[in-house]
Amino acid sequence: MTLLQIPDREYHADRTRLCGSAIEKFLEERRAYHRHYVLGQPEPEPSDEMCFGRYVHARVLEPDTLKARFSVAPERGGSGPDAHKLVKRNEGPGKKKWADFLLELGTRTPVMPDDAHLAPKILDALRGHAEAAHYLWGTDGVNERVLHWTDAETGRPMRCRPDRVLVGQDVIVELKTDRAPVPTLPTTLWRWYRAGYHRKAALYLDGYFANFGRNAVWIYIFVETTDEPRVCVQRLEVDSPAVQVGCAEYRGAIEAIARCEAEDDWRETWERGVTGFCVPEPILRANEITAEEIYGAEVVG
């Protein structure tokens, strides 16, 4: 099996294979998954933050596609502190500039002027970080290629498109823009967990093994979206606890998707039947009410 070169629109239109984005959508909201991946309804318009992330990806990984895929919105101009701000869209000359911009935008993704000025600083930060630069530019690799495989445990046809693959080194690289990539902060770790980054790594590593018969190493490169961007490089291997958790979670999601498809029932689990009402654990502790008192059994941990 090889790394496939599939156009962006064709890749995202594929409904025959499950991907990481679909799994995350299902875990976020089952009905939203059903609307988009089953009924084929369009996704909501991406946020400015998402558009910026895609823009940075393209500047780093696919610079030849920038003009065809993105268009920078008009800025106010002049010499004041707001010169690089977006034009005032609802008044004065800015209103016409904005209307003309939308008219010429077509299928391209809009990029805010502030973001367009920030992007070169982000690229400089990545180039100035030895490890990040090595994985992104300093060694042979291919960008934005697709892997197809069938999940060995669930039998589900799968797909993924890594940002960058270094096949000769068995390395998968994923670039992420991040507002505060500080791995020593619990808030950051919880945010990354909720975003499903561990599940994505597990899924892609399994896809790599299914294609090449070898384990790969996953490299996350986080770059901060500030005027002085910091870069954080994180390494994950197949036996990393985070990957093992991610694997169990994404396979559980695949099985849940299969049940929803078989029953044509896209309700969340809490929408079915009757469950016991709970209050947050800190409230129980504050009132000195323990699980042992409630259930009459020893609670481990």
Q: State pLDDT tens for residues 264-291.
A: 999 999 999 998 888 888 887 888 766 5
Q: Let me know whether 225 and 145 are in one domain.
A: yes
| pLDDT tens-place string over residues 14-40 | 999 999 999 999 999 999 999 999 999
Q: Let me know whether 134 and 246 are in one domain.
A: yes
- Write down the mean pLDDT value for the chain: 91
| CB neighbour class for 99 (10 Å; exposed up to 12, middle 13-18, buried from 19) | exposed
pLDDT band at 44 (very low <50, low <70, confident <90, very high): confident
The answer to the question of residue 8 being in a domain is: no
| 301 pLDDT higher than 50 | no
- The count of domains in the chain is 2
Q: Let me know whether 122 and 170 are in one domain.
A: no
Q: What pLDDT is recorded for position 145?
A: 96
Q: What pLDDT is recorded for position 93?
A: 83
The answer to the question of residue 283 being in a domain is: no
Q: Let me know whether 135 and 264 are in one domain.
A: yes
Closest CA to 137 of 119, 163, 111: 163
Q: Let me know whether 157 and 206 are in one domain.
A: yes
The stretch 225-229 carries a mean pLDDT of: 95
Asked if 143 contacts 1 with a C-beta cutoff of 8 angstroms, the reply is no
Higher pLDDT among residues 140 and 177, named by residue: 177
Percentage of the chain lying above the pLDDT 70 cut = 95
Q: Let me know whether 182 and 145 are in one domain.
A: yes
- Which structural domain, as residue segments, surrounds residue 60? 46-128
Q: Let me know whether 137 and 106 are in one domain.
A: no
Closest CA to 121 of 228, 276, 5: 228
Enter the pTM of the model. Answer: 0.88
Q: What pLDDT is recorded for position 61?
A: 95
The answer to the question of residue 301 being in a domain is: no
The answer to the question of residue 65 being in a domain is: yes
Q: Let me know whether 169 and 80 are in one domain.
A: no
| 148 pLDDT higher than 90 | yes
CA dihedral 257, 263, 265, 266 (to 10 degrees): 10
Q: Let me know whether 112 and 235 are in one domain.
A: no
With a CB cutoff of 8 Å and minimum separation 6, the contacts of 266 are 30, 31, 33, 34, 260
CA distances from 109 to 4, 41, 175, 195 (A): 24, 19, 19, 23
The answer to the question of residue 252 being in a domain is: yes
Q: What pLDDT is recorded for position 1?
A: 57
**Region of poorest pLDDT, from 144-148, 234-238, 288-292:** 288-292
Tokens of residue 142, six digits = 């291919």
Q: What pLDDT is recorded for position 266?
A: 97
What's the CA gap between 204 and 193, in Å, rounded? 16
The stretch 118-146 carries a mean pLDDT of: 95
Q: Pick from 128, 163, 179: which residue ends a domain?
A: 128
Looking up residue 256, the CATH number of its domain turns out to be 3.90.320.10
Q: Let me know whether 64 and 166 are in one domain.
A: no
Q: Pick from 61, 96, 128: which residue ends a domain?
A: 128
Q: What pLDDT is recorded for position 264?
A: 97
The answer to the question of residue 71 being in a domain is: yes
SS3 category, 166: strand
